[in-house]
Structure 1
Amino acid sequence: MGGTKIAGALVDARGELLVRAQRPTPAREDGATVMDAVAGVLETLAASDDWARVRAVGIGSAGPVDASRGTVSPVNVPGWRGYPLVAEVARRVAGRPVTLVGDGVAMTAAEHWQGAARGRANALCMVVSTGVGGGLVLGGRLHTGPTGNAGHIGHISVDLDGDTCPCGARGCVERIASGPNIARRALDAGWRPGPDGDRSAAAVAAAARGGDAVALASFERAAQALAAGIAATATLVEIEVAVIGGGVAGAGEILFAPLRARLRDYATLSFAAGVEVLPARLGADAGLVGAAAAAAQDIGLWQVPEAP
């Protein structure tokens, strides 16, 4: 569930997507209209012959979410504030259990089950895109926290006197490392788009590959913020690996090379220094696969994946 689209799938025990459904999110409409779109996705899935085999339903939603209450308040969907999404979905799925997690936690579940964190008992997985989200695997299990938001690394403060983040805090990882902030910082420092006028982080990455010093500096600053956040997490809960996905991760070594270098500056204690940084593997399907994995864990179907 996101501000642009509502996607659904039937996911089997191997993580394969058997049936898909998708509708645009009517993000500026009232809450009932948004729920009608969700219901339409569910109806498409329920029309499949495989629906009878469904054991549980998982929801990965843009946040904030509150799994303890079963509610969601996506920032980009103003008609949903404290909306009882779990109860509304449960009414439509014939008594099947429904699990709610944030979208970063869903991505984490997917990467642990089928992706770059497979076989790792302790991991941080991150989505670096328009925002910065994340989730944790601890002791071989998805660690959602009471409200389904544990591991939200984007709102760790890494610059105590930094800019105010939309969340209200100062110097958050997201305020420095998200795509829009990479582009904003480059523009403020004098970078200018090419003839196509593209002002996105992807355009900044392209300029960085071409050797543009301002573009490179903006990505290096983002990498520094991510490194500080990863090191803080490693120090707190002893992760083995940090997996990074999302649009900004598409910059490749323009992001990952300075990130690994700066991580050595921050993860200095022996138990944190060995954290491996890897790109995510599952791409756009991570939310769907991860929502299924979170639901499977909730009903006791989850098994710790073996290393490939």
Structure 2
Amino acid sequence: MTLHQATGTPDTPLAAALDIGGTKIAAGLVSATGELIHRHQVPTPATAAAHTVFAAVAEALDALTGHPLWERVGAIGVGSAGPVDARRGTVSPVNIPHWRDFPLVEQVRKQPGVGERPVVLGGDAVAMAAAEHWRGAAREYRDALCIVVSTGVGAGLVLDGRVRPGPSGNAGHLGHISLDPDGDPCPCGSRGCLEGLASGTAIARRAREAGWHATGDGSAAAVAEAARAGDPVALAAFDRAARALAVGIANTAALVDLEAVVIGGGVAQSGELFLAPLRRHLADYATLSYTRDLAVLPAALGTDAGVIGAAALAFAND
């Protein structure tokens, strides 16, 4: 899928951006003011062999290198599902099982048209945080947690007015904090991780296990549709996920002292169906004097946040 949003002015510097997740790979050209000029998206063959997954990345990147504005690109930002290792340029996404220590930066640099342009890697949720702090819902806050709730759960931190990716590029990886030490095993190797309780995948699984008769594709979006229609099992699945996420947010707020939480990703598109119980449960867990007034906001940039944020990482590297 290709989307042309604007042409940009002739002297506007650009960054290229890749947003690699367990469901989709998006690529874009973004101006230094955060304008998304061109966007292309392909599905992620998440369970395929490593080279097949990268072939999809290459396809998305080709849609950029062949664009008439490519010569104005000074750097390439890559936000990938994690964990990532920004120092080594490798990725090991939990939801892309055949990418383990995959040399993503090296492979991107080898693609036709990339040339000597710098390639900057960060976690996809760190990229989302960079985008929402730059152009979205976190603009007014110096200390914020930006969360992606989709196939998995990821997050990025804005502290003292700056995105803080940490030395490896994974800071804020909320989905793999353990909420239940005796909980179900997680593909990351731990047990009882937040991602296994609050992700879209977890919502759909919980609803099925509780007796929901799957409709459509059986995804979290289908559960959301059933919940809007009043299905008590579907509503309970969303409530449980919201409660687990509220615990993770409260723990993070207690640790680093936050002003706001921004919620994005596919599950967040269900709106108040997810955000209302999240706020209600957060009031039960974020009870300290400095955590109880957290603002909970929907992400402003929607599905474009990962691309715009990956570009922000590239511009910040200049």
The answer, yes or no, to whether TM exceeds 0.5 is yes
Q: Which amino acid aligns with 2:136?
A: G
List per-residue Cα deviations over 1:51-100 (Å, max 9, x = no partner): 23222210011223111111123345455332222123234423222210
Aligned to 1:131: 152
**Between 223-232 and 37-46, the greater mean CA deviation after superposition:** 37-46
Residue 94 in 1 paired to residue 115 in 2? yes
Q: Which amino acid aligns with 2:210?
A: A
Quick check: 1:142–1:294 contact (8 Å CA) kept in 2? no
Residue 59 in 1 paired to residue 75 in 2? no
Aligned to 1:291: 310
Question: How many pairs does the alignment contain?
Answer: 297
Aligned to 2:101: 82
Quick check: 2:145–2:156 contact (8 Å CA) kept in 1? yes
List per-residue Cα deviations over 1:3-29 (Å, max 9, x = no partner): 454332110022112233444545566
Alpha-carbon offset, residue 37 of structure 1: 4.4
Quick check: 1:8–1:20 contact (8 Å CA) kept in 2? yes
Aligned to 1:213: 232
List per-residue Cα deviations over 1:234-293 (Å, max 9, x = no partner): 111111111111121122222111111111111111111111111112111111101001
Secondary structure, aligned partner of 2:61: helix
Secondary structure, aligned partner of 1:263: helix
2:34 to 15, 19, 30: 15
Secondary structure, aligned partner of 1:55: strand
Aligned to 1:225: 244
Unaligned runs of 5+ in 2: 1-19
Quick check: 2:94–2:188 contact (8 Å CA) kept in 1? no
Quick check: 2:32–2:315 contact (8 Å CA) kept in 1? no
Change (3 A) 1:171 1:27: closer
Residue 250 in 1 paired to residue 269 in 2? yes
Change (3 A) 1:24 1:175: closer
CA distance in 2, matches of 1:36, 1:201: 28
Secondary structure, aligned partner of 1:104: helix
1:180 to 198, 201, 220: 201
Which aligned pairs between 1:31-180 and structure 2 lie closer than 5 A?
A: 31-32=50-51, 34-92=53-111, 93-180=114-201
Aligned to 1:204: 223
Alpha-carbon offset, residue 174 of structure 1: 1.1
**Between 197-206 and 243-252, the greater mean CA deviation after superposition:** 197-206
Alpha-carbon offset, residue 138 of structure 1: 1.0
**Between 197-206 and 98-107, the greater mean CA deviation after superposition:** 197-206
Alpha-carbon offset, residue 190 of structure 1: 2.6
Alpha-carbon offset, residue 188 of structure 1: 2.1
Q: Which amino acid aligns with 2:292?
A: A
CA distance in 1, matches of 2:29, 2:224: 36
CA distance in 1, matches of 2:30, 2:40: 12
CA distance in 2, matches of 1:80, 1:41: 18
CA distance in 1, matches of 2:229, 2:49: 46
Change (3 A) 1:269 1:85: same
Change (3 A) 1:246 1:38: closer
TM-score by length of 1: 0.87
CA distance in 2, matches of 1:79, 1:70: 16
Alpha-carbon offset, residue 2 of structure 1: 3.3
Quick check: 1:61–1:101 contact (8 Å CA) kept in 2? yes
Quick check: 1:130–1:179 contact (8 Å CA) kept in 2? yes
Change (3 A) 1:197 1:236: same
**Between 207-216 and 131-140, the greater mean CA deviation after superposition:** 207-216
Q: Which amino acid aligns with 1:210?
A: A
Change (3 A) 1:68 1:184: same
Unaligned runs of 5+ in 1: 300-308
TM-score by length of 2: 0.85
Aligned to 1:191: 212
Q: Which amino acid aligns with 1:6?
A: I
Quick check: 2:158–2:164 contact (8 Å CA) kept in 1? yes
**Between 242-251 and 221-230, the greater mean CA deviation after superposition:** 242-251
CA distance in 1, matches of 2:284, 2:23: 38
RMSD across aligned positions (CA): 2.2
